[in-house]
Amino acid sequence: MLRLMALVALLAPLALPVQGAPAAKSTPSAFDPKVLQIDEMRHLGTPLDASLPLIDGTGRGFTLGEMLGKPLVLVLSYYRCDGSCTVINQQVAEAVMGVRRFELGRDYRLLTVSFDRQDTPQTALAFAGRTAPAGWEGWRHAVLAQPEGGVPALTAALGFRYFWSQPDQAFVHPNVLIFLTPEGRVARYLYGTAFDPRSIELALIDADWGRIANSASIIDMMTGVCFSYNYLEGKYQPNYPLLIGTGSLLFGVSLMLLGAVMYRKKLGRIKHATA
């Protein structure tokens, strides 16, 4: 437990060790903080394999491509976890309820996938019951149909690295939401165990910018321009240089217009006085 607390202190908020995963088929690793760092500049834009086979909690098989066609929010978790994985998925559900610009199922989809090769459709179903509201359309919990090859392939494509802490009997992994474009390319990473609806809206705009840029959704376009993603902190913030520059430009234009109006009034008074 002392080792676990030390790991939490070092890794928060990027990752939290979580209890409950069996050690079988997991390779013990010496702790190295760099193992959790996602090289975003390398992996942004990476296309995922649309033919990747999955099985949901009901036992129904499907492919990753069936979840595409709209922006997809991907959550990598493992279902025997009762710690950070549970918290993240519950927080995602809460944040989604606060999203007003887009509707789950209609405008985007959610997919929680286990990176634990020992998870099954049954554990996926049980996990969904603990974390997702019943009857939600557009959110599926799944396992990889071929975990031995599928888990390494998927996590490598996403830059998602994790390790098994043998002393603590826990996986240590990044806590992150991964946003995919409708074509299945990595568009954005959002880190943490709690997510605000505004950040999810902004990430969805980034993931579907092609459609938004070619539509009449001026509000979405302005929102996407006025906020920028901070790679160091893994979150969105106001685009201060743009806002300051725009404010300065508007101030300068206002001064010019005011000067022109004053000049016209002055000319009018001179003409009236000499008439």
Longest dimension (CA), the chain: 100
Does residue 244 share a domain with residue 130?
no
**Run of H or E residues at 201:** helix 197-207
The pLDDT of residue 209 is 77
Does residue 213 share a domain with residue 115?
yes
Query: Into how many domains does the chain fold?
Result: 2
Does residue 234 share a domain with residue 249?
no
| CA separation for the pair 207, 198 (Å, rounded) | 14
Label residue 135 left, alpha or beta by phi (over 0 means left) and psi (-120 to 50 means alpha).
Answer: left
Does residue 257 share a domain with residue 180?
no
Give residue 81's pLDDT band: very low, low, confident or very high (50, 70, 90). confident
The answer on pLDDT for 89 being more than 70 is yes
Does residue 168 share a domain with residue 153?
yes
Does residue 273 share a domain with residue 187?
no
Domain residue limits at 116: 2-238
Q: What is the pLDDT of residues 34-61, one digit of tens each?
A: 668 899 999 999 999 999 999 999 999 9
Q: How far is CA 169 from the centre of its chain?
A: 28
Does residue 164 share a domain with residue 48?
yes
Question: Considering the entire predicted model, what is its pTM?
Answer: 0.71
Does residue 80 share a domain with residue 22?
yes
Does residue 74 share a domain with residue 36?
yes
- What average pLDDT does range 169-189 have in this prediction? 93
Does residue 220 share a domain with residue 92?
yes
The answer on pLDDT for 23 being more than 70 is no
**Of 2 and 204, the one with more pLDDT:** 204
Does residue 159 share a domain with residue 119?
yes
